[in-house]
A and B are shown apart, each in its own frame.
Chain A
Amino acid sequence: MSILVLAEHDNASLKSATLHAVTAAQKIGGEIHILVAGAGAQGAADAAAKVAGVAKVLLADDAIYGHALAENVAKLIVGLAGNYSHILSAATVNGKNILPRASALLDVQQISEISAVESADTFVRPTYAGNAMTTVQSSDKIKIITVRATAFDAAAETGGSAAIEKVASGGDAGLSKFLGQEVQKTERPELTSARIVVSGGRGMQSGENFKMLEEVADKLGAAVGASRAAVDAGFVPNDYQVGQTGKIVAPDLYVAVGISGAIQHLAGMKDSKVIVAINKDEDAPIFQVADYGLVADLFTAVPELAKELNK
């Protein structure tokens, strides 16, 4: 059995989401190969080759993979699929965009966002915003799977010495073109891999007020997240959203400020190790999952928290 893991990367380096997908592959068992499809992606391939437990890295280096267009990457995967019993990717936006396309081309029913491996053909996945854990068994010849990163530890970044094999480009499908991007630049850690996350909700009232949270986040070395309501209101960019339809996080510490705790928000953070909630409504549902709840007005509590952390 060989398992292909599609790398999440920025050409220069490997994203940590890939390391979690590698651990899921290890649980399935078999020889693990990482596919790096990119443009000028030697750096990412070198990083992938060092990951513990990886036997081989396949590098498809071509300008057409520069922006991970699904039509092109899926085509590449389909060409390689014959050698594999399983094809995995982290459930990042790229993974979710590309893998179902490859799946349909291979006539396979993908298994989305698994949170546990029961055996080589049986997996557990959250459904209904995490309210039902569903165990499914696949009858397909190839198992195509996206992996919920927070449910699997990261594989060690070093210790491996896999060979890097160049694979031919799968060719340009000619269906779509990358035009541009608006990427949020931040010195803070990435939301999905941060050890601490401080999130704000509608209670923050404005984007300006998020500065208070950023101050606390910077003292803690934390990432900043948000509820959907805060994103929809334009307080913060879309990629801050935590939840069923945003990012799934499970940091050591999650601080929810002015967030009511709707089921769709909880779906994205309730596996955090320690949860703190600051809310002026003592009946807010967020308190039902919080290890430490503080009933207070955030406009006094958050500045106080910043001060207290200075001590």
Chain B
Amino acid sequence: MKVLVAVKRVIDANVKVRVKADGTGVETQNVKMSMNPFCEIATEEAVRLKEAGKVTEIVAVSLGNAQCAETIRTALAMGADRGIHVQTDVELQPLAVAKLLKAVVDKEQPGLVILGKQAIDDDSNQTGQMLSALLGWPQATFASKLVLNDNATANVTREVDGGLETIEVKTPFVMTTDLRLNEPRYASLPNIMKAKKKPIDALTPEQLGVDPTPRLKTLKVAEPPKRSAGIKVKSVAELVDKLKNEAKVI
């Protein structure tokens, strides 16, 4: 079985994101970019499936500007076999990403597509669900455990509001990763070197027959309201007194 993983390039999770003074977006100049952490988990899961002999080929797909190729290289260094870069400078929103990924899936015919549950920049949590809808496939979102069965089904454990839930889906299907699915590996130096030789195909939205024009117009990006700094209390007794008599919350 072939697996496709969608890997997004985002501002690194450890960067303190700053809103631009003119309110048009956030600062991206000289800011460290990385693979979305949930996409690392997606890639790791695919690599583990391949190591377990359940998967024959892993294709890493990223959509966006020229630098997204670096994110694909990261996936290749982790163990993906080849990359597809859908190149565009248009701002991509989840519906457009899902349509583009569908076109890639139609060409590649994987048995499983793994995405992150959420991109930590737009925090949308939509793309995997949308892709499976467009494909008419089952969706297994918020996955914390995957077991591929022999009869063209899979059991997926999902992190839901009350705890955990397990569903059975038919293959092919779309899965989105939650934090506890696995712990992604670091790419070793030899594997980073090897990744440089792995092929990355470039495609455009036009070639895929998709109009990626955004449906949501960003009118303004603003800083959230700041909390004013509080006080330090000296003892537990003082804390309880403040909570009772000043804040009046207990």
Please report A residues at the B interface, Cβ cutoff 8 Å: 67, 69-71, 74, 92-94, 96-105, 107-113, 122, 125-140, 175-184, 192, 196, 220, 228, 231-232, 237-239, 244-245, 247, 252-253, 263-264, 270, 273-276, 282, 287-296, 301, 304-305, 308-309, 311
Contacts and interface: CB of A to CB of B under 8 A. Distances in A.
Residue from the set B132, B235, B249 with the largest chain A CB neighbour count within 10 Å? B249
Interface string B205-227: 00000000011111111111001
A43 B118 CA distance: 34
A232 B123 contact: no
Contact of B170 (A96, A135, A175): A175
B139 interface: yes
Given A132-B222, A220-B250, A238-B144, A109 B161 contact: no
B98 A104 contact: yes
Contact of B221 (A132, A245, A253, A291): A132
Interface residues of B, number: 82
Contacts, number: 255
B88 to A, nearest CB: 16
A136 B218 contact: yes
Given A132-B26, A137-B219, A253-B247, A291 B141 contact: no
The 6 residue pairs across chains A and B that have the minimum distance between CB atoms:
A109-B215, A104-B130, A291-B230, A100-B129, A175-B138, A100-B126
Given A111-B216, A253-B243, A177 B167 contact: yes
B224 A100 contact: no
A192 B131 CA distance: 29
B159 A103 contact: no
A293 B233 contact: yes
Contacts of B121: 127-128
B161 A93 contact: yes
Contact of A103 (B18, B130, B137, B170): B130
Given A104-B133, A133-B223, A292-B231, A181 B166 contact: yes
